[in-house]
Structure 1
């Protein structure tokens, strides 16, 4: 075993830092999905399949976090030469399971994005590619998962080097991960660009178009994380040190999975943002009205009329706001909804005697 790297760095332990990162990112995922369900259930009153699939992704990443905690307990974050063979075997076992979780979680996240995009009113020609993408994601994930499971015969050979087993080579395992990465990157960038096709012909301000496209194109970030993670997996993990040399790779994989869940939930929170800003405006309106009533230099009747006028405007705005939230405004504002115009021509008959 080559231990030059370990001798130079000594017995360091990055486990506490890994735990802190896990707690922070996993908590953010839980909060973002919880807010998503609150917005969809309380404001929009329309929980859909995209919400349930992102919930499955959240459950998957929570399972992955639990596996990571066990890996850290077994020596992840320390140089491999300073942990025992039993710990190394347990670490590899849970890493084997964590990759299966990663495949499934990424699949559910991307399916959720597809289903979310289907909620935007658009032509059938744009819906069919999304339906095909869902099928493609399911099929490709099943193939990759099966290949990963059967990488060794017997199965224990995947994590126990003492078992005589026939296994895939290191290069073959990397190709499996590479195939998953290609699917992930292509889908991330494709789904990020898809809103441009929908919003291109919508009559709305250019700034609003750009803002919506950026909001719905956050998947580019996870695609970039996947590219970095794949390069690191292919080049930089030393064969002699999995528990310490693979930390950078692990971080980028964590970001890809959990930032994907967060990015998929942010666009669905837009009605909640509009609701919150509406409440703030209403509070400010009420405060201004009270200030007017208490002013000594103004006529009381005039102040009362001003407050009444403001209250009516506030109620009107709130009514319009709720009308928008309960419609297909889930993504587009009311003035940007795509409408179909039908022209009807009526001919009058002439009655002759």
Structure 2
């Protein structure tokens, strides 16, 4: 073996003999990964495809970095807007779905960061013949870590959306719907735990070998590892199936909920954004392994595009129901400022959109029994725009036979009267 122990020696390029001991260990780690335990690593790792006689030295690295910056911006902007609405609107409360999506965003943002490191230090976006063994080691390590963060992130995003739907089911449907949601939620938790343990302990006797080719090649005895391709295929397919189920569930629920048709159309549009996420997950499966392996460092970017789309649109879909109140609340408030027998301020109109009482509303008192039921249902929940609509429509079906403005009001007028009654009926300190 013609290698040197000096770490100062320049790393050899893929397809060439190793230039130092680290190169040798990396080459042997690659062979062990493919189950080739008796191949002479001192000859180097030669890809199965032939390097073209005339080849270019192109680079996708600037495009990768720019794309990942956009991904980071989308993740931060959508999640920050959601949390800001929760914090700045006193009538809104944080719920488990908010904390879950915050955790998902914190983990998801590491994915584009790892991809930037893979491009700048691991040779990602270059042709394979332009990548050294040391760069390939970096590419392998951060690629494995980013795969784990992707599975955990999308799992947490789906958990957050399911928690939101679960609360909607509590308000509108039978216990069988709630039971189905709980079972599905359990499968999502299992998915996240499976992703963590299957990735970390893929090599049961040497967990570190799952992430480092150099470490794998330096071991005296080859580690015992599971089938990485089977793991990736299983996790991806299960993820897509769960996405389809999660996308179909709110469509069925919203179809039966009584609410304003324009609001229902907006909520259906939100789930169309979820369909884009499902599309990204499906298209990740379409690239053939032969096309991917023909020039792995160059061709992996097509998978990167669909993975990033899946991650971004999943988070946007989880955050849009909360942002819907922010985007359309001002428009709705202009229609809710006038109540039966009195007028409410602009702030009161905003409060109605978020389902809480306004102290600025004036007018005659209303039925306290309805108000008490509404307040009890909203006291400890993470109030969402999609849930509030149900109560607006439910109150609008109060008996009103006359079409005169003084005796029958729009759904918004009925909500305005209820808001005042709820405000007066609250005890000090109630939220």
TM-score of the two chains, using structure 2 as the length reference: 0.64
- Structure 1 residue 112: deviation in Å? 0.6
Q: In the alignment, what sits opposite 1:54?
A: 101
| 1:274-303 CA distance string (max 9 Å, x none) | 234357x59xx9xxxxxxxxxxxxxxxxxx
Helix, strand or coil for the counterpart of 2:386?
A: coil
Q: Does 1:68 align with 2:68?
A: no
Q: In the alignment, what sits opposite 2:141?
A: 93
After TM superposition, what 4+ stretches of structure 1 lie above 6 angstroms from structure 2?
A: none
Helix, strand or coil for the counterpart of 2:287?
A: helix
Q: In the alignment, what sits opposite 1:198?
A: 253
Conserved 8 A contact 1:215-1:266: yes
Conserved 8 A contact 1:79-1:243: yes
Conserved 8 A contact 1:50-1:112: yes
Helix, strand or coil for the counterpart of 2:172?
A: coil
| 1:291-333 CA distance string (max 9 Å, x none) | xxxxxxxxxxxxxxxxxx9xx9874665344123135552145
Instruction: Indicate which of 304, 322, 326 corresponds to 2:355.
Output: 326
Root-mean-square deviation (Å) = 3.1
After superposition, the Cα gap between the structure-2 partners of 1:276 and 1:245, relative to the gap in structure 1 and judged at 3 Å, is same
Distance 1:131 1:117 in 2: 10
Helix, strand or coil for the counterpart of 1:326?
A: coil
| 1:114-170 CA distance string (max 9 Å, x none) | 11112322223222222222221111232233222233353336541634534557x
Instruction: Indicate which of 157, 182, 200 corresponds to 1:149.
Output: 200
Q: In the alignment, what sits opposite 1:269?
A: 323
Distance 1:6 1:258 in 2: 37
Distance 1:4 1:89 in 2: 21
Distance 1:230 1:246 in 2: 12
| 1:3-39 CA distance string (max 9 Å, x none) | 5466555221111100000001210110111111122
| 1:199-238 CA distance string (max 9 Å, x none) | 2333345565344223235322111111110222655311
Q: Does 1:250 align with 2:273?
A: no
Instruction: Give unmatched runs, 5+ long, in structure 1.
Output: 286-308, 342-353
Q: In the alignment, what sits opposite 1:18?
A: 64
Conserved 8 A contact 2:155-2:191: no
- Structure 1 residue 174: deviation in Å? 2.4
Distance 1:79 1:197 in 2: 47
Distance 2:99 2:344 in 1: 34
After superposition, the Cα gap between the structure-2 partners of 1:28 and 1:325, relative to the gap in structure 1 and judged at 3 Å, is same
Conserved 8 A contact 1:193-1:217: no
Higher helix share: 1
After superposition, the Cα gap between the structure-2 partners of 1:314 and 1:273, relative to the gap in structure 1 and judged at 3 Å, is farther
Conserved 8 A contact 1:80-1:241: yes
After superposition, the Cα gap between the structure-2 partners of 1:226 and 1:139, relative to the gap in structure 1 and judged at 3 Å, is same
1:106-185 aligned within 5 A:
106-120=154-168, 121-123=171-173, 124-152=175-203, 153-154=205-206, 155-156=208-209, 158-160=211-213, 162-163=217-218, 165-166=222-223, 168=225, 172-185=227-240
Conserved 8 A contact 2:321-2:384: no
- Structure 1 residue 61: deviation in Å? 1.6
After superposition, the Cα gap between the structure-2 partners of 1:75 and 1:126, relative to the gap in structure 1 and judged at 3 Å, is same
Helix, strand or coil for the counterpart of 1:107?
A: helix
Conserved 8 A contact 1:157-1:167: no
Tell me how many residue pairs correspond in the alignment: 311
Larger RCO: Structure 1 or Structure 2 (Cα < 8 Å, ≥ 6 residues apart)? 1
Conserved 8 A contact 1:185-1:226: yes
TM-score of the two chains, using structure 1 as the length reference: 0.77
